[in-house]
Structures are given as C-alpha cells and as structure tokens.
Structure 1
Amino acid sequence: MNLIRLSVTKPVTVSMFSLIILLIGLFSIVKLPLELTPNVDFPKMSITTYWPDSSPEMVEAFVTSPIESAINTVSNIHKISSVSEQGQSMINIEFVRGTDMNFAAMNLNEKISLVREELPYGAFEPQISKYVPEAFQTSNFFSIRLTGNYTLQELRRIGLERIKPALMSIEGVTHVEVIGGKDRVIEILADQKKIKLYNITLSQIRTKLMQLGFRRSVGVIYHGKTRINLMVDTPLDNLSQIENAVLIKRGASIIRIKDVAQVRDTYGRPRNISRINGNPAIVVNVEREAGANIVEVVDRIKARIQELQTKLPHGLTMIIDNDQSVPIRDNLKRLGEKALFSIFVIFLVLYMFIRTMRAPIIILSTIFLSTMLTVTLFYIFNISLNLLTLAGLALGFGMLVDNAIVVVENVFRHQRLGQTIQDAAISGTQEVVMPIAASTMTTVVAFIPFLYLTGELRIYYLPFTMAVGFSLLSSLAVA
C-alpha cells in the first residue's frame, strides 16, 4: 500500500513516470511491425522438383530418393515424408520445434547443391519453400504489372535490368521476382550427320556445357536436327566461349562445339502469358523483410514506382496489381473510428452517472496510459500489430475501463464522506486494490493454459493471449 500513498503524495514523480511511459509508447507504436497475420516461422519446409513428362516411378528413383538421401544428414530433422507424382517430386521436412528455420534453409540448400548435378536431364532446380498454414496464407505482399506496346522479351529485359534493381535497393525489400516474358536461352542445334561423322554423343556436348558453368536446359526437342536449350543466369557478351569449347582431341585434330552444332543466342518459350487491354504484360512480385513494417515498405515502393515511371520508355505503364497494406490501412482506420466512438460513449455515460467532468477525463487518461504501456510491452517482446493482437487488445479494453471506473468512483465516494481529495485518493484506492487485483489476475490466469498449446494452435492463440494479458496487467498497474 506504500506504493499507493507514494503515488498520491509525489505527483511530480508520478507525472514524470507517466510522461516516460507516454513517450516510450509513442516510440513503440512507430516501430511496431504492422501485419495481417503473425510473422512466425513454422518448423516445416518443403522441397519441390519438377521433371516434366516423367512417370511417378522415375521421379521416385531419380529425383526424390537422391534428394532424401542428401538431406538426411541435416540436423534437427524430426520427420521426412515425400510424394512422387507425374512430373513432380514433393518432399516435406518437419524440424524439431525451436529450430532456426533460416539456418535450416541454408543447410538444405547446401545439401541439395551437392546432388544437383546428379539429377536427371530436364529436371528443374529444386525449390525450397517454408510451410505456411492455409489460414495464414496471403497473396503476394506487393506486385505490379508492367505493360505497354512492347514484346514480351523487351518487357522482361526492362523488368530485370531497370525495375528489379531499383526495387531491391529499397529498405525492407528482400527479393524481387520478375514473372512472365521470355527467358534468354542459348540454343545448341546439333547436326546429326556431323555428330555421327565425328562419333560424338549428345552426352559429351552436355557434359562440356556443364563444365563451362552454365545452368542446364529445361528440355530437349527432336525435330530433324537435335536441339538442346541451355538456360543462362547471366548475359553473355558473345558466344565464342561456347562455340570454341573443345569436345574431343584426336591427335592433331581438335573437334569443337561449332564443328558439330550451331550456337544461337535467342529466347525460349514464355511460361505464362498475361495481357492488359490487349498489350503484353509481365508481373513483378516483391517480398519484404521479416518483421518490416508493411505500410512503411509499401510507401517506399510506391514512391520508387513514381520515380521509375518518369524514366521508363514511352508507352510503358506500371500498374499496382496487389497491395497487402490496403487491408491493414482499412483495419487501422476502422479501429481508430471505433476507438473514438467508444471514448465518446464512455465519456457520456460517466458524466451522466457521476455528474462531474473530472471523472471521465481521469478515466480516459488512464485508458490512454494503459494502452501506451501495453504497446510498450508489445515492442519489448517483439509482438507485431496484427488481426490477432488487435483482437486481444479489444477484449482487454473492457476490463481496462472497469478497473479505472471502480477506483475513481470509490475515491469520489470517500470524498463525499468528507475526506480531503488526497486522503480520499489513498483510502479509496486501498479499499478496492485487492478486489481489482484478484479480479484481473483471475482473468489473466484463465489464459495461461493457452501458453502451453503446441503446433498450429499455438500460432493462433499465443499473440492473442499475450495481447489480452498485457492489456489487463497494464490496466491494473495504471489503475
């Protein structure tokens, strides 16, 4: 009870503490990440590998089994399961809870790189992705469409050379993917008569290309002559390195690739086609850094888009296709409107029953201070503002108001009995502090079992539970 007496007899000290909580709370609000759903790493990953036109048995033998053997040595793996289908291998890895998933992804990528060259010809590169439950799956964070009266390869070139580097330099952006258009490929058109004449096989050509360090082709087309499509990651200044690559030496005779095949720098077939108002279009997807404020990152991206639009060739237009900050802004706007309405109703009801302006003002100030303290706890424990935490705040808001009303009304009652305002504040608060503490702690304890949930249920309820608990404890401390 000495704390109550100290709070009443030392108003300057209490005011300074309140000001500190207010400033830290405002700082925390600015720094807290804004998200639709909690940003949580689930201890699951999947590895997807495509091998077009291959049977499930072939996929199992030549894709799934080698990858499973390679990743078995990764630490903290709890269970591995796989599904081999027509043209596709899907391997699901479940890790021990508490595993650093970013480090686990690096380990998986390292192990897969060791067997990548052993995968069959025509198999796509294995893709590692983190597991996200269906309820938490959202569309891409931010995406734009680039369209205009240009060819697909021109659109893709502009997207890769100008738009992607500009967006990657933005703070909070971790990855930019350009989808659509035509990929640049190196075509090796082998002359069947010449390869038979020199007794050279397609495997020898493929092996030499792999030694040059280029990525493998996604397929082979046989039509009169044999064609090998070779995908490249970086542009080539010229094709002489491939053309002059030595396939075989027979005494003084040297057989090069250009002696048995034609090498062409061209574009492959588009994997998907998108159009806007009849014009070709490509999609640019943007991924944000984990924990970054969605609204702030989107504002930076939009500012950069406006800057890029003035520098793009005439006739090119960038259209925002998806913006995940829109529902967040709408939710925050509705929350603000409802909060203002609630404050007005609370003020009106308190004034009608207590018949004094001081009581509503005091109670509203405690509500504001409790909210700032709750937000500060969010920042300390690295909890973002999302739909679940906002729901927890809303649930704890009622108890927060109740505690303040009980204390203020009891203080006013003691004042009406003839006590001075200082004595009434001390005795009135001391009289109800234990019932309020017991009531609040009973509610807090009721949520403790949620802390021991496991699996996906923990992801749903933990942020919600912590939001309710922090708001109730803050209301108790301020009241």
Structure 2
Amino acid sequence: MIDQIISFSIRHKFVIGLMTLVWIAAGVWSMMRVPLDAVPDITNNQVQVITQAPNLGTEDIEQFVTYPVEVAMANLPGVVEIRSISRFGLSVVTIVFKDDMGTFLPRQLVAEKLTEVREDIPPGFGDPSMGPISTGLGEILQYTLEVDSAYRKQYSAADLRTIQDWIVKRQMAMVPGVIEVNSFGGYIKQYEVAVNPDELRAIGLTISDVFRALEDNNQNTGGAYIEKDHKANFIRGEGLARSLDDLRHVVITNVNGLPIMIKDVAEVGYGQAVRYGAMTKDGEGEAVGGIIMMLKDANSNEVIEAVKERITEIQKSLPEGISIEPFLDRSKLIANTTSTISNNLLEGALIVIFVLVFLLGNWRGGLIVASTIPLSLLFAFIMMHIFNVWANLMSLGAIDFGIIVDGAVIIVESTVFLLHQRLLKGGKIDGAVRDETAKEASSKMMNSAFFGQLIILIVFIPILALQGVEGKMFKPMALTFMFAMMGVMILCLTYVPMMSAWFLKIGKGEKRSWGDRFVEWLERRYSGVLAKALKRAKWIGLAAVALFALAIFTFSRMGGEFIPQLDEGDLAFHAILKPGSALSETIETTTEVEKLIMDNYPEV
C-alpha cells in the first residue's frame, strides 16, 4: 500500500502539486478561522444561581436563600458538586455538572427548579436568577468613562453611572458574543421621598399609604379601544412619573374634599442607592466603568474586535467631554502570547532548516525537508478548525519540529545518497532515473519510518483519555501535535517523494560539502569513543544506572507548575483592609495607594 501511494505520487506530479496548492489554501483559510486565545479555558461546566437581597445579613441569606437553593439543586441529574457563598445581601450558589451534559441542558434543569425555589424563599428576600453563560476567562475588556479636564465639574459620579447604565451598557449588550456588561463605580440614581412623620400623624396617614399611592400612581395602563367615525381609537392611560413634580403631585387621599399630595407630607428629590463597592483609578478618586463578559465558547479575538468597533460607534452618542477608555484589553494578552508562540516556532524552524541544509550538503534537499514544516502546520490548522480545537500557548507550543521532519530527512538523504552512488558509477541521471531513485529511496525508508511515526501518534493517545481540568489543558496539545504528525505522514508518502524526483539535483563534481566533512569528522570521533566504551561495558552500565538515579533524585527535588509561566506585562495586587472597614475608608486608602505607586514608579 505504501509503495503504491509513493509510485502514484511520483508518476502523477501534477496531481500532487495541485493537491499541495489546495492544501495550502485550505490551511491558510482554516488558520484565519481557528479560535485564538492565550491559554486553554479550564472552567468546568457550571451554572451559578445569584440572589440579591440588600437588606439581609449573612445568617439570613444562608438560612432563607442559599440553603433552599442548594437543597432544590442537589438531586438534579449530572450534578458533580454544589458550593455556595453567602454574604451580606448576596447569595451565590454554584452547581457543577458533568462536562458531557453540554451548556444549555444544565441551565434548563436549573431554570425548572428555580420556579420551585422562588416559592420557598420568603417574600422580599430576593429573586434568584441564573448567572451569565460565561467562564473564568470571560472578562475580555474593562473600561472607564473618562471626563475631559474642561468638563470635569460638569459631570458627577451619579451622572457618569447613569450614562454607563443607559447609554453604554445597552448598546454594548447588542454586540454578538457579549453575554453581559457589568457596571462599576459611581452612584445609581434614584428618586427619593423623605416622609415627614409629624405631617403623617397630623393627617392620620401611615407610611404604607404613601407607598401604596406611589405604587398605584406610577404606571401606564391600557383601555382597549372605541370606534368613532369608522376608526378604532385606542385608549391609553399615562400615569408613569417622569419628573420630580410628577411624584410631588401624586394624590395620597382626600380629606374633606381636599387632595393630600406627596408634597404635603414629604420632600421629593434625587438620591442614590445604597452601594457596597466603588471603583478608583490612577489616584484621582472614584471612577465609573464596566466589565464586558464574553459568551462561553465564543472566539475572544473576534468578540473583542467587535466590541472595539461598537465603542467607536457609542462614542458618537456620548455627551461632550466623555470618552470610553479601555484599561484592560484581552486582545493585548492574546497578541503577546501569539507573538511568543510565533517567535518560538519561527526560531525553531530556522534552526532546523539551517541544520538540515548544512548537514545534507544539498540546499535543494534542505528546502524540501524544510517545506514540510509549514505544510504540516497548515494541515494541523485544517484539523483544528474541523474539530474545534483552539489555538493557544499549550496547543501550538507543543509542536516539535525535530520529530516532524524525521521522515522527510531520511527520504531526502537516502535519495541524495543513491543519486551520488549512480553518479560515481558513471551512470547518467535524467528524469526517469530520478523518478526510479526517489521511488526506491522513499519505499525503502517509509516502510520502516511510517511505523515509527505511527508509534509516536500512539504514544499521545492516552492523553486524550484525560478528564476534567487536565483534559481541557492537555487534550488540545496532544491533538495539535497528532494533527501535525498525521500531516507530515501524508507528506512523506506523497509530497516528499514527488519533490525529490522533480526538484532534487546533485552536482557532477566529487567535491565534498561542509556537511559531509562535519559528518565524517563526527564518525571518526564516535568510532573511537564507541570502541573504548565496548571495552568498558561494565563501567558504562554502572555509569548509566548512576545517572538514572541522579535524574530521579533531581526530578523529585524540582519545582513544578500547572501551566507554563505567562508574562502578561501587568502586576495585580489587592489592598486588604481590616474586616468591617467602611467603604469611604476603603476608597480613601486605595486612592492613597494608587497615588504612591504613580508618584514612585513613572513607568506605571
């Protein structure tokens, strides 16, 4: 079978050449569409149930919210573990499912259970809902709303938060691949009614009467339609409050024919919601910004580009003097990582090409072998696109060019050797002779090398059986290497024999190349060393055992890490204050820390 494929490739050079062009085109097309990221996403298959109850303490949250949710979710099919966090005003329950259940089936199961959970949670204790369909690597971009110095006094923190929530967030949420936009900092604008208890008592009203009046008089209603002049006139009652005056003139009750309004018993004005966090930046005090979350399994590079385009559009609709300034951009990390991978692959390929050309002593043969490196990578990209394998530091960084070019090296070297033998015997080398020589060398070498390459593929099969975090981390590495290896196996059976027969030529002179001289020098040195080693076999064996033991000892003392070290170019730190510290104290402290860093480190 191998001999037949090689013979066909040499006889039909045009077909193999055309196949190679299609190979290159498909590889480049796939390379442009393979999802790109910095590192593999190892987040497990989880669904979060989030409940906000700003007025409840930690114990009440745990007892009345978190515990009912955990009990309801415990018996769902495919649940691996359930963990929760209960804090003041917040409950987060994380339900981890098996990976093979997919993304949407677990969410459907949780959504069905949430209907029952809402009945078990007391009224006013929060409404549980599911978190976004995202992962631990879902944060793709963080930004702040910056105000020009000339307009600094024109916009307050509440104004910026209103712009963020009602202009930026709503337009950003429509970008394909964006699952959620979280707002941070500033003050959430509210209409506040400050009731005067003395006035209520004098009139004989209660706070419940005020609340009920505001609730009933702040909504729009519909009244069907009436027919007049052969037309249907739809009735609509507008009662939605749109200003402070609308709230002030809401009628609570009538006393002796006189309407008692909100303005008679309370002061109406603007206020802000109680907040439990803030955002500071560059030592200049509070800031307002947002975090953009990406949909799970979306292409982060494409989503970030779409987000940047949308930022340009949103900028046109912002008030004068306000701009959106990203300060944490995931695409920069991806660019740095891919640059590192590209440099490593390029440097490795150049070293291999230099060594091949130098040792083979034939630049044509070196180019044939070297061309299998990009071709095998393009095949790997084709398979990665088909099987949805992401390109990242782990998957592309594992490719070993030395192993990949082994088969091509021995075919080209054998072909060069046989051509030299024919030339030394005085034979004429024409196209037919090159075809016959390439077929003989390729068939002889690949009958043994093919199974060697197959063994290398088999070695990586156990990695594909890894599960959980280990599987998500190392499966892409194994698959990418196996794809590249399969690509070079196909090339060694088709492309390399064809190119050896068509492109490979040797000089008529008997002058030895630098590579031949270097190999002969190594052979002479190695022969002497080998002869001495054979005479001292016992000592060599003991030395090998001692080195093996030393290697085991050294390995047991070596440090380890789960993933390769990745230098993002950023430093992250947390300012931790004493438990119970006020928010104002935290803002003041973090602002002071930022000032110290900005003043002492000019490069920040």
1:413-432 to 2 correspondences below 5 Å: 413-418=417-422, 420-432=433-445
Corresponding residue number in structure 1 for 2:374: 368
Tell me the CA shift for residue 357 of structure 1.
Answer: 1.8
Corresponding residue number in structure 2 for 1:145: 144
> Equivalents in 1 of 2:478, 2:280: separation in Å?
44
> Equivalents in 1 of 2:179, 2:133: separation in Å?
15
Partner of 1:348: helix, strand, or coil?
helix
Deviations 1:379-427 (A, max 9, x none): 00001111111123x23x3211222212211222222232721111111
> Equivalents in 2 of 1:99, 1:245: separation in Å?
53
Corresponding residue number in structure 2 for 1:456: 469
Residue range with higher mean Cα deviation, 327-336 or 120-129: 120-129
> Equivalents in 2 of 1:456, 1:155: separation in Å?
41
Residues 109 and 128 of structure 1 are in contact (CA less than 8 Å); yes or no, is this contact kept in structure 2? Answer: no
Residues 147 and 276 of structure 1 are in contact (CA less than 8 Å); yes or no, is this contact kept in structure 2? Answer: no
Q: Which amino acid counterpart does residue 443 of structure 1 have in structure 2?
A: I
1:167-246 to 2 correspondences below 5 Å: 167-192=172-197, 200=206, 202=208, 205=211, 209=215, 237-238=242-243
Residues 147 and 279 of structure 1 are in contact (CA less than 8 Å); yes or no, is this contact kept in structure 2? Answer: no
Tell me the CA shift for residue 57 of structure 1.
Answer: 4.1
Deviations 1:43-74 (A, max 9, x none): 23333445557555433321123323544575
Corresponding residue number in structure 2 for 1:476: 489
Structure that is richer in strand per residue:
1
> Equivalents in 2 of 1:298, 1:199: separation in Å?
56
Work out which of the residue numbers 294, 300, 309 in structure 1 matches 2:300: 294
1:66-465 to 2 correspondences below 5 Å: 66-71=68-73, 74-82=76-84, 84=86, 88-109=90-111, 111-112=113-114, 115-116=117-118, 118-119=121-122, 121=124, 123=126, 128=131, 137-138=136-137, 140-148=139-147, 149=152, 150-192=155-197, 200=206, 202=208, 205=211, 209=215, 237-238=242-243, 264=269, 266-270=271-275, 271-276=277-282, 278=284, 280-306=286-312, 308-309=314-315, 312-392=318-398, 394-395=399-400, 397-418=401-422, 420-465=433-478
Deviations 1:1-22 (A, max 9, x none): 2111101110111111111111
> Equivalents in 2 of 1:97, 1:307: separation in Å?
38
> Equivalents in 2 of 1:70, 1:205: separation in Å?
34
> Equivalents in 2 of 1:116, 1:256: separation in Å?
36
Deviations 1:291-333 (A, max 9, x none): 4443343334334444554664443233221011112212222
Residues 460 and 478 of structure 2 are in contact (CA less than 8 Å); yes or no, is this contact kept in structure 1? Answer: yes
Residues 76 and 95 of structure 1 are in contact (CA less than 8 Å); yes or no, is this contact kept in structure 2? Answer: yes
Q: Which runs of 5 or more residues in structure 2 are unaligned? A: 220-239, 423-428, 493-604
Work out which of the residue numbers 11, 18, 30 in structure 2 matches 1:16: 18
Change (3 A) 1:296 1:59: closer
Tell me the CA shift for residue 199 of structure 1.
Answer: 7.0
Residues 183 and 289 of structure 2 are in contact (CA less than 8 Å); yes or no, is this contact kept in structure 1? Answer: yes
Residue range with higher mean Cα deviation, 343-352 or 200-209: 200-209
Higher gyration radius (CA): 2
> Equivalents in 2 of 1:359, 1:166: separation in Å?
58
Change (3 A) 1:124 1:11: same
Tell me the CA shift for residue 93 of structure 1.
Answer: 1.6
Change (3 A) 1:312 1:240: closer
> Equivalents in 2 of 1:68, 1:212: separation in Å?
37
Residue range with higher mean Cα deviation, 8-17 or 449-458: 449-458
Residues 105 and 128 of structure 1 are in contact (CA less than 8 Å); yes or no, is this contact kept in structure 2? Answer: no
Tell me the CA shift for residue 183 of structure 1.
Answer: 1.2
Alignment TM-score, normalising by the size of structure 1: 0.80
Corresponding residue number in structure 2 for 1:223: none
Tell me the CA shift for residue 438 of structure 1.
Answer: 1.9
> Equivalents in 2 of 1:345, 1:411: separation in Å?
23
Q: Which amino acid counterpart does residue 328 of structure 1 have in structure 2?
A: I
Tell me the CA shift for residue 362 of structure 1.
Answer: 0.8
**Overall identity of the aligned pairs, in %:** 22
Change (3 A) 1:469 1:206: farther
Deviations 1:169-202 (A, max 9, x none): 4444333232222112243445545766757575
Corresponding residue number in structure 1 for 2:45: 43
Residues 83 and 95 of structure 2 are in contact (CA less than 8 Å); yes or no, is this contact kept in structure 1? Answer: yes
> Equivalents in 2 of 1:105, 1:244: separation in Å?
46
Partner of 1:274: helix, strand, or coil?
coil
> Equivalents in 2 of 1:292, 1:277: separation in Å?
35
Q: Which runs of 5 or more residues in structure 1 are unaligned? A: 214-234
Residues 186 and 264 of structure 1 are in contact (CA less than 8 Å); yes or no, is this contact kept in structure 2? Answer: yes
> Equivalents in 2 of 1:74, 1:195: separation in Å?
52
1:27-38 to 2 correspondences below 5 Å: 27-38=29-40
Change (3 A) 1:171 1:123: closer
> Equivalents in 2 of 1:195, 1:113: separation in Å?
40
Residues 184 and 289 of structure 2 are in contact (CA less than 8 Å); yes or no, is this contact kept in structure 1? Answer: yes
Partner of 1:33: helix, strand, or coil?
coil
Tell me the CA shift for residue 257 of structure 1.
Answer: 7.8
Q: Which amino acid counterpart does residue 189 of structure 2 have in structure 1?
A: R
Partner of 1:38: helix, strand, or coil?
coil
Partner of 2:49: helix, strand, or coil?
strand
> Equivalents in 2 of 1:75, 1:130: separation in Å?
19
Residue range with higher mean Cα deviation, 427-436 or 184-193: 184-193
> Equivalents in 1 of 2:482, 2:101: separation in Å?
27
Residues 38 and 338 of structure 2 are in contact (CA less than 8 Å); yes or no, is this contact kept in structure 1? Answer: no
Residues 189 and 261 of structure 1 are in contact (CA less than 8 Å); yes or no, is this contact kept in structure 2? Answer: yes
Partner of 2:287: helix, strand, or coil?
strand
Change (3 A) 1:313 1:58: closer
Change (3 A) 1:12 1:152: same
Residues 114 and 128 of structure 2 are in contact (CA less than 8 Å); yes or no, is this contact kept in structure 1? Answer: no
> Equivalents in 2 of 1:264, 1:114: separation in Å?
39
Partner of 2:372: helix, strand, or coil?
helix
> Equivalents in 1 of 2:200, 2:118: separation in Å?
28
Change (3 A) 1:453 1:264: same
